[in-house]
Structure 1
């Protein structure tokens, strides 16, 4: 049975809208105004305040801005890391170089992609098949996952932003990405031709080295070449002069950062409520990575209540928390409010929006996926020690929310947060044991890998 949109049926729909006073009012209101702004509930906005009964001792300054790039995962990590670092160094303001990790991720990820293209060609995957086609669609996006950060920092370290500042392509990555995407597709064609001609490993290796030379040139022209060593000079809170270096970025991390924030002591927990993906099991996503021979992206799947409780415990202990979510739904962007009741869609459109499906079904039907990473810095707990709201440090500058900080309700957390990263000491042993499992491999296009494909 099919439905045809006949003139009679369309006239019926038109009459229903035109004869409904609420619909006529909504049409006028939405004529020159953002529909989401029209749906805002004034009372809900007035009831929102940035006062919390548990907060990390000192939030990082300044509020960062990733601008027109998909580097949220890098910003969120470095925002978490700088809080204990600033305390240890006795400084008020500091930024790690986001561009530094971004540069190495681009280079490593291009190498990972090209090696993966060789592997897939050798095992007979067709270029028109779903897997290769999916990977070629967006081979070098800006997004990333926690285990990718571990790969980068463990190998390349970190450095102050003053020693490797932003460039145009770091803040506006689209042009660079298009150049790299075009070259990676060109290189894939050449590599597949080599494999089909039974090219030996030495010839493939030689070809990959040449290709990566071109990639390195493109990336460093756009983002810059970091010095092998740097010297960082600064004044602490007492106005005393201090100097670190000359030192390599890896030495800087190992000697001055790792002692207060060891990235390898952190674990990633996700909540995926789809019936096919059981809690208490480990998962990974096929072809999702950024470093050849690097650490795999592993998801430890747990109920959302556990993620929320562990996050609250971490904040109570003074440690901020990196997390991944779907940022676009039930979010008053300018005001920085993440609350499932901040918009009243029913009154404006006559229908509910976003919550017609369960969290599991939104994943299944393509209506939800991780799109953004940020940092939890505060929480309010009720008399039963349950979280009611969270304070969120974003990386979109100071123009949104409370000078760059958002507020999130517990209901929003349950619906749209998918992932948190915590120190092992806040996670029970039975949950940590899940990381010892052989992970179930989800397909490359699974929504749980979406944060690493976000631009």
Structure 2
């Protein structure tokens, strides 16, 4: 057998391709319309109906625009739901720019502290290369968002509205990344020259002041206090000089300590019933670490359904780009007939896709409903996205239960919806995963 591709090999391939009429039809369709459009099943829209026997009412759809803040938008969407319910409002938004500001500032500190913790690691080693690859990208995790809210609170969107830089973060992230890599170089070079840790930390403080200035210029200054006013069905509300922390306590009124992350990672290295964390993953240095409880997929479904039955939405993380149609908002294993288009089967299972880098969590959204069949089991899920009302069905996606099985990785629920055994399992000390483990992925798709 030849080790290289020869002209004779190509000739054989070409003749075999041309001999099958289906190949020519598929080529014409895909080259003209793109692969996914050519593979869309016409029956998909009929089979995936936007009707649900558990459906929560939410305000106007949000839009993260050209930013990777899906995890932040999804978390704030679960929280604005509570504000709207409390005040009787039809729609309401919390400021995504406010939490973005502090996430960037805290991630900068977290990165620089990680550099100080790894001063003796080789610059060309895997760990330093990993830390330098994305010092403060847009992505995040539920526990990281909790850390921001517990430290800084939240504010209405009108108090700190979007800016050009918050709606399209690429430029700002690029310049902040450049500065942080420069700062990492400065700190490591000073350490190699014998500078004591006290001097390095003094340098770090000056570095953070630079980052703070850059954030203020691009995003605006976050408020320390503000006046909240709202015209509600129950009368006019006015709260003068309220802090973001007190606004969260009074109007969101959510005990974040009770909400935990359940994951489904069916790989051999992550037994079910164990908890996991990820090294060097976080934003607020003194905040709670990212922590997951790994459970079978049916446990994630049961907890999510129970929470929605009690009238509360569910934050979740998935691999949204797999087997989904963005325009129609359909996530279903049969949405695209790729096997017919390409005349080949895709055979990896969920564990294999994780192990071989074919899938991981890329996007966070919110469950706002589910359809249960005659046996009380789910067959489709109602998904609130943050890509504006033109994506999907007025901003909502629909997920088949089979898609949930294969590409759902994380849900966040109140502990009370777990069994006693599951709650006890969550209290275990977590097993620490490597920074590059697929369960360390951040929701960042825009």
Q: Bin the TM-score by the shorter chain.
A: over 0.9
Report matched runs for 1:56-95 at 5 Å.
56=56, 58-59=57-58, 61-95=59-93
Deviation at 1:383, TM superposition (A): 2.0
Query: 1:292-335 deviations in whole A, cap 9, x for unaligned?
Result: 12110011111111101111111111110000000101001100
* Alignment partner of 2:238 out of 240, 243, 249: 243
TM-score of the superposed pair, with normalisation by structure 1: 0.96
CA distance in 2, matches of 1:445, 1:359: 18
Tell me the residue number matched to 1:40: 40
Tell me the residue number matched to 1:271: 264
Tell me the residue number matched to 1:351: 344
Tell me the residue number matched to 1:163: 159
Task: Say if 2:190 is the partner of 1:194.
Answer: yes
5+ long unaligned stretches in structure 1: none
Moved more, 176-185 or 192-201: 192-201
Report matched runs for 1:270-419 at 5 Å.
270-353=263-346, 356-419=347-410
| Aligned residues between the structures | 446
**Secondary structure at the counterpart of residue 163 of structure 1:** coil
Report matched runs for 1:98-113 at 5 Å.
98-113=96-111
**Secondary structure at the counterpart of residue 11 of structure 1:** helix
Moved more, 263-272 or 154-163: 263-272
Deviation at 1:92, TM superposition (A): 0.9
Tell me the residue number matched to 2:178: 182
Q: Is the 2:48–2:400 contact (alpha carbons within 8 Å) kept by the matching residues of 1?
A: no
Task: Say if 2:87 is the partner of 1:96.
Answer: no
Query: 1:251-278 deviations in whole A, cap 9, x for unaligned?
Result: 11112212xx222221111111111110
**Secondary structure at the counterpart of residue 16 of structure 2:** helix
Tell me the residue number matched to 2:18: 18
Tell me the residue number matched to 2:51: 51
Q: Is the 1:118–1:195 contact (alpha carbons within 8 Å) kept by the matching residues of 2?
A: no
CA distance in 1, matches of 2:8, 2:287: 62
Change in 2 beyond 3 A, CA 1:454/1:115: farther
Query: 1:389-433 deviations in whole A, cap 9, x for unaligned?
Result: 100000000011110000001100010010000011111222122
CA distance in 1, matches of 2:45, 2:20: 28
CA distance in 1, matches of 2:109, 2:42: 50
**Secondary structure at the counterpart of residue 155 of structure 1:** helix
Moved more, 197-206 or 39-48: 197-206
Tell me the residue number matched to 1:445: 436
CA distance in 1, matches of 2:24, 2:233: 59
Q: Is the 1:309–1:387 contact (alpha carbons within 8 Å) kept by the matching residues of 2?
A: no
TM-score of the superposed pair, with normalisation by structure 2: 0.98
Change in 2 beyond 3 A, CA 1:395/1:136: same
**Secondary structure at the counterpart of residue 69 of structure 1:** coil
* Alignment partner of 1:229 out of 225, 230, 233: 225
Q: Is the 2:101–2:222 contact (alpha carbons within 8 Å) kept by the matching residues of 1?
A: no
**Secondary structure at the counterpart of residue 162 of structure 1:** coil
5+ long unaligned stretches in structure 2: none
Q: What is the aligned-residue RMSD (CA, Å)?
A: 1.3
Deviation at 1:378, TM superposition (A): 0.5
Query: 1:110-144 deviations in whole A, cap 9, x for unaligned?
Result: 000001101011xx211110011011011111010
**Secondary structure at the counterpart of residue 181 of structure 1:** helix
Change in 2 beyond 3 A, CA 1:295/1:301: same
CA distance in 1, matches of 2:233, 2:48: 33
CA distance in 2, matches of 1:452, 1:382: 31
**Secondary structure at the counterpart of residue 231 of structure 1:** strand
CA distance in 2, matches of 1:242, 1:404: 30
Task: Say if 2:249 is the partner of 1:254.
Answer: yes
Deviation at 1:186, TM superposition (A): 0.5
CA distance in 2, matches of 1:5, 1:237: 72
